[in-house]
Amino acid sequence: MEHDSPTLLFNLAHEHLMAAKVIRPGALVLAMMVPPRVRRPLI
């Protein structure tokens, strides 16, 4: 693979990691997936 361009190798690695679900969503994405907390009245 020494003749392959760095961009091609990066894209192949990216596709492999995505297929293996190695890359996880970031904290902001996870926070947006969680429903907003319901405010409870203060007693």
Within a domain: residue 38? no
Residues 39 and 33: beta-carbon distance below 8 Å? no
pTM of the entire predicted model: 0.45
Highest mean pLDDT among 3-7, 8-12, 33-37 belongs to 8-12
Number of domains, the chain:
1
Residues 20-39: what's their mean pLDDT?
Answer: 74
1 has a pLDDT exceeding 60: no
Residues 39 and 31: beta-carbon distance below 8 Å? no
Within a domain: residue 6? yes
**pLDDT higher at 1 or 18:** 18
Q: What is the C-alpha to C-alpha distance for residues 2 and 31, in angstroms, rounded to an integer?
A: 41
The pLDDT confidence band at residue 32, using thresholds 50, 70 and 90, is: confident
Within a domain: residue 43? no
Parent domain of 17: 1-33
Q: Tokens standing for 6? A: 């760095």
pLDDT in the model for residue 3: 64
Residues 17 and 10: beta-carbon distance below 8 Å? no
